[in-house]
Structure 1
Amino acid sequence: MPFALLKYGLSRCHPAREEIPQTPELKPSYDVVIIGAGGHGVSLAYYLAKNHGINNVAVLDKGYLGGGNTARNTTVIRSNYITSDSIQFYAKSMRLYESLANELDYNLMYSRRGQITLSHSDGVSRALRLRADSGTFHGECNEILDRKQIKELVPTLNLDIEGHPILCGLWHPDAATARHDAVAWGYAIRACERGVELHQRTQVTGFKVEGNKVVGVETNRGTIAAGQVVQCVAGMSSIVADMAGIKLPIRTYPLQAMVTQPLKPFLDPMVSSTAMHCYISQSGRGELVIGGGSDPYELYNTRSTLDMKESLAASALEMFPFIGDLKILRQWAGITDMTPDYSPIMGTSPLDNYWLDAGWGTWGFKSTPASGYYMAQTVANQVMPDMIKPFALDRFYKYKLVNEMGATAASH
């Protein structure tokens, strides 16, 4: 078998198919310039071309396709949020995810797993019951499980953690996972098939602003004219917006995670603990994916730290004591763009033709389809759809916040 694979790989009769085109030369102008080739940027490009017939689009990225936070998350997809605005938005994203592999004709390794958020105190239990009722009101599947039901769902879970016994849990059966980079690849491939241009290694260095519009996007490969500009740059949101003279209420924090060596499957649902500030899931390869809260300091850096590794390992061991002998395979970090109310900023900006897709913090991956879908409507029609109006930048001036602080046990 190894020799057959080697022979096939070296054969000129069977070259690898290049589904993602090579970076072309920049054209003088585009109808839409999208900054950021992560999941949000390429999903926006795809829906602009597919749903609105706008394909004179350039997607620019200083790195490579899906190389930022899209490649640095823990692949959780869910809708069990607090506010009605968020529940409805993320529910739409979940529905799009369910059929996305078929739509893109690309294997996203989508897997419905369910998520249980554990409570260790009476206060958290009341909050989880409220979230369950809110989700049910909007047609989403959420219920409260008692200790016996939790043990039946996750037999290996330690219910009697010293000092933090588990009282109940919020069960969200529709929660799922998907391969994060495959989502970006699938959207990019289908967008490029419809005429969109993907420009990797193309860094935006500034903007030419005349009056109240951006008339040019300056890059390391030259300046291009743009009818509309959209920024989808995750942790770099405030920096890119500042180039256009826009101040955003965003601060950037590192977010770390790690995976262990693989072992026999034992954990189907994703488990999240409020007291432990830790969540755990098991990948299709058997690895335990372990994550927690954001680092408590601002930093534009994706390095990992020993103290976070120790903290995550200690919390994971409290919940699953038998995993103590597992080795950690790798650890990584992303940079998250956090807003004061833990909700995103979508839609209009102070400039007439500059659109924002920012402030996702730790919710970015799960929102990828819905963000692209509704931002495409916004750019194409120059009007924000009702679904995303609550997430507009001006909510901070009007003090109409969409407060999702505490929407989960940890930052994911």
Structure 2
Amino acid sequence: MFRRHERLRDSYDVVIIGGGGHGLAAAYYLARDHGVRNIAVIEKGYIGGGNTGRNTTIIRSNYLTPEGVQFYDESVRLWQDLSADFDLNLFYSTRGHFTLAHTDASMRTMRWRAEVNKHYGVKSEVVDAAYVKNALPMIDIECGGHAPVLGALYHAPGAIARHDAVAWGYGRGADQRGVEIHQETEVTGIDVEAGRIKGVRTTRGYISTSKVLCAVAGFTPRLLEMVGLRSPIYIHPLQAMVSEPIKPWLDPIIVSGSLHVYVSQTARGELVMGSTLDPYEVHQTRSTLDFTETLSAHMLDLFPFLSEVKIVRQWAGLADMTPDFAPIMGTTPIEGFYLDAGWGTWGFKATPVCGKTMSHTVATGRNHPLIAGFGLDRFARFELTGEKGAASVGH
């Protein structure tokens, strides 16, 4: 899918740290849209080995804040053309997305989200329990009697895609335009002189550069220490699991905040399931039996007939959380150092729009208008972008 380069050059116009979806997308659009091709993507592991390959592939734009709705709506628009852009089947599939409400308070939040969505032209509507049951006749609408479904927010554009293919597509597209992708290369230091980026130290040599984009998810605090910056990001593992393939029966994507469940079914028939964040900070991608047992129990509240279905694997990613559940993007106090972080549980769906907006920001040195509400300085100003009500069930 992309070439292997035996050595690093002495200098690059841009160094992108992190070979996940966001870093590769930024490299792709920098080369394609801005003509910046002297780029090195530095990845300490392998392409797609981080959160890009460790998520549940849900794509949506039914957020709560004006900043979030407009940002993710542009991402959904970009997603729909990616397979053609890459000449690669991403298995992008529009399914519709139900966010179930089990309490009166949840129903109020769904109405709030629906109104904000409609104001910005995003298709979302509040539906009642009968509508949910008609669309999902296999659901136990009473959830065993302890958390009955009262209604839902239905988001017609909700979709899924094949996550590893996204990394391959952006990587191949960037490579074809002259970008160098260096796997198994770790950044050990970043040199700053008089408040400006001067270079990057790696396990394979030194690179002179004036621009660095940091897109490393759960490793962000470690990279920020290298340039003397602090952030309010904290790291929690987020686990997921997948079932054996079964006959297709679940077309929409189902999310329940009260039960801490989100689930979709792949083209191969597997159920891809996720739940809440692990309740402690551990910088490891290990998985636990407690997660599997708890999520299985909540899945059976919704779909009791799945009791004999087998779980075949589980995994975890590192969720880089922010206090307001919105990302941190754009310029920083260090000239030439750009940040794409704080994605928590919602980074995969933002991959295309992050590439677009961060490539513009790096190329011009000015924040793209769509990320104006996501700057690092908002925390110092106490002007947060409160996205908790729609970020994910993990919160």
Coarse TM-score class (shorter-chain normalised): over 0.9
In 1, the alpha carbon distance for the partners of 2:19 and 2:152 equals 37
Q: Secondary structure at the match of 2:372?
A: helix
The aligned residue for residue 267 of structure 2 is 284
Aligned to 1:69: 51
* Other structure's SS at 2:323 match: coil
1:410 Cα offset (Å): 1.1
Q: C-alpha deviations, 1:128-161, integer Å up to 9, x for none?
A: 0110111011000001111111111111011012
State the identity as a percent.
50
Find the aligned partners of 1:321 and 1:76 in 2 and give their Cα distance: 23
* 2:312 corresponds to which of 326, 329, 339: 329
- Quick one: which amino acid aligns to residue 30 of structure 2? L
Q: CA deviation at 1:170?
A: 0.5
Residue 23 (structure 1) aligns with: 5
Pair 1:99 & 2:99 matched: no
Deviation at 1:263, TM superposition (A): 0.7
SS of the residue corresponding to residue 157 of structure 1 reads coil
Aligned pair partner of 1:196 in 171, 179, 189: 179
C-alpha separation in 2, matches of 1:254 and 1:191: 30
Q: Does 1:295 align with 2:278?
A: yes
The answer to whether structure 1 residue 87 and structure 2 residue 69 are counterparts is: yes
Residue 170 (str. 1) matches residue 153 (str. 2): yes
SS in 1 for 2:386: coil
User: How far apart are residue 408 of structure 1 and its match?
Assistant: 5.0
Match status 1:214 vs 2:197: yes
**Alpha-carbon offset, residue 411 of structure 1:** 2.6
From 14, 29, 37, the counterpart of 1:55: 37
Q: Deviations over 1:325-347 (max 9, x none)?
A: 01110010000100000110001
TM-score by length of 2: 0.98
- State how far apart, in whole Å, the 2-side matches of 1:409 and 1:353 are: 32
Cα distance in 1, alignment partners of residues 341 and 330 from structure 2: 9
Q: Which of 344, 349, 352 in structure 1 is aligned with 2:335?
A: 352
1:264 paired to 2:264: no
Post-superposition shift, 1:24?
Answer: 3.5
Supply the AA of the counterpart residue of 1:186. G
Distance 1:399 1:95 in 2: 31
Counterpart CA distance in 1 for 2:394 and 2:173 is: 31
Within 2, Cα distance between the matches of 1:168 and 1:137?
21
**Does residue 389 of structure 2 align to residue 392 of structure 1?**
no
Instruction: Answer whether contact 2:109 2:389 (CA < 8 A) is retained.
Output: no
Runs of 4+ that moved beyond 4 A: none
Aligned to 1:364: 347
1:245 equivalent to 2:237? Answer: no
1:137 corresponds in structure 2 to 119
Tell me how far 1:69 sits from its aligned partner. Answer: 0.4
Q: Following the alignment from structure 2 to structure 1, what is the Cα–Cα distance between the partners of residues 6 and 156?
A: 44
Which 5+ residue runs of structure 2 have no aligned equivalent? none
Is the CA contact (8 Å cut-off) linking 2:19 and 2:46 kept in structure 1? yes
Range moving further from structure 2, 79-88 or 282-291: 282-291
The residue aligned with 1:154 is 136
Instruction: Give the letter aligned to residue 402 of structure 1.
Output: T
Deviation at 1:281, TM superposition (A): 1.0
SS of aligned partner of 1:29: coil
Number of positions where the alignment pairs a residue of Structure 1 with one of Structure 2: 394
Counterpart of 2:278, as a letter, is D
SS of structure 1 residue aligned to 2:219: helix
Amino acid paired to 1:325: E
The SS at the match of 2:210 is strand
1:41 pairs with 2:41: no
C-alpha deviation, 1:274, in angstroms: 2.0
Letter matched to residue 98 of structure 1: Q
Q: Structure 1: which 5+ residue stretches go unaligned?
A: 1-18
Whether the aligned pair in 2 keeps the contact of 1:252 and 1:336 (CA below 8 Å) is yes
Following superposition, the deviation at residue 20 of structure 1 comes to 1.1
1:182 aligns with 2:165: yes
Trace 1:98-137 onto structure 2 (pairs within 5 A). Answer: 98-137=80-119
Partner Cα separation in structure 1 for residue 389 and residue 371 of structure 2 = 21
Distance 1:82 1:400 in 2: 16
Query: Aligned partners of 2:359, 2:377: CA distance in 1, in Å?
Result: 20
Secondary structure in 1 matching 2:130: helix
Question: How far does residue 409 in structure 1 lie from its aligned partner after superposition?
Answer: 5.3
> Is residue 2:207 matched to residue 1:224?
yes
Q: CA deviation at 1:23?
A: 2.8
Compared with structure 1, are the counterparts of its residues 73 and 192 closer, same or farther at alpha carbon in structure 2 (3 Å cutoff)? same
Q: Which is higher, the Rg of structure 1 or of structure 2? A: 1
1:239-277 residue CA offsets vs partner (Å, 9 max, x unmatched):
111111111110000000101111111100011112111
Aligned to 1:341: 324
The residue aligned with 1:315 is 298
Query: What do residues 69-120 of structure 1 show as CA deviations (whole Å, max 9, x unaligned)?
Result: 0000000000010000000000000000001110111111100011101111
Q: Secondary structure at the match of 2:172?
A: helix
TM-score calculated relative to the size of structure 1: 0.94
